[in-house]
Amino acid sequence: MRAPVLAANWKLNHGPTEAAAFLRAFCGRYAPRDDRTVMFFPSALAFAAAREAAAGRADLRFGVQNVAAHDRGAFTGENSAAIARDAGATCVLVGHSERRHVFGETDAETAEKCALAAAHELDPVLCVGEKLDERERGETERVVLRQLRAGIRRLTAQQRARLVIAYEPVWAIGTGRNATPADAAAVHAVVRAELRAEGVPDAVPILYGGSVKPDNAPALLAADGVDGLLVGGASLDVESWLAVVGAR
């Protein structure tokens, strides 16, 4: 069994002051454990403060929520994989559904971001997931596999071994309507089979995300093929995040 990965995606919440206060409180109550990995994805501007507040906690991983699909140059407002790495990030969310569906990110851009992240030694956390209408039309598998194949296509075998995959059905994100453990298990099995076909080692974890809360986290984490959780709303509050992180 893989050690579960519990990842907090703070989205557009928690500035430097709140992020630092959160990490100080969290570190005071969560002792390092070698049977799980905890990751934080603060806003880029809160990243340094969050990391500094957790100084000395090598067990916690910090990443950014997005990077540019360009390495450098005239791209006002963007952050590159190289800059994120220089700032101390070790991982990055790529292709989150909000990037895809709110900001119109394409599979080609996601592929470029994965390639740039890997080239700069940031582990890509590649997010995939279908929208409600796609699920209702029976297209879940087709959409998830298309996104997955695009994201990993340009990675070398060595880079693929450093991936994390997150299955986040769009209809479950921020809606309070989580996938059932059986729904998640079914899609995770499809993702795992494709990863194997692509030569990606079984050590690569597949996380579930979408309305994970302290009360449903244990059952989702116990579902077949679910190796961790990517959490939005329930990661914003120290109490509820401690409860999710302590699940299982």
Would you tell me which residues interact with ligand 13P (CB under 6 A)?
9, 96, 168, 173-174, 209-212, 230-234
Taking the least distance from each CB to ligand 13P, the nearer of 32 and 174 is 174
Which residue type, as a one-letter code, is found at position 176?
G
Instruction: Point out the residue whose Cβ comes nearest to ligand 13P.
Output: 232
Q: What is the nearest approach in angstroms of ligand 13P to the Cβ of residue 184? A: 13
Give min distance, CB of 82 to ligand 13P, in A.
Answer: 24
Residue type, 62: F
Measured distance CA(130)–CA(208) in Å, rounded: 13
Q: Give, as one character, the DSSP assignment of residue 179.
A: P
Q: Is residue 168 annotated as part of the catalytic site, yes or no?
A: yes
* Catalytic choice (98, 109, 168, 188): 168
| DSSP-H helix ranges across 94-232 | 97-101, 107-119, 132-136, 140-152, 157-160, 181-197, 217-222
Nearer to ligand 13P, 82 or 128 (CB): 128
The active-site residue, picked from 14, 96, 120, 188, is 96
14 flagged as catalytic? no
Residues near 238 by Cβ (< 8 Å), separated by ≥ 6?
Answer: 22, 25, 26, 29
Provide, rounded to whole angstroms, the least separation between the CB of residue 157 and ligand 13P.
Answer: 27
Largest separation between any pair of C-alpha atoms in the chain = 49
Residue positions annotated with a catalytic role: 96, 168
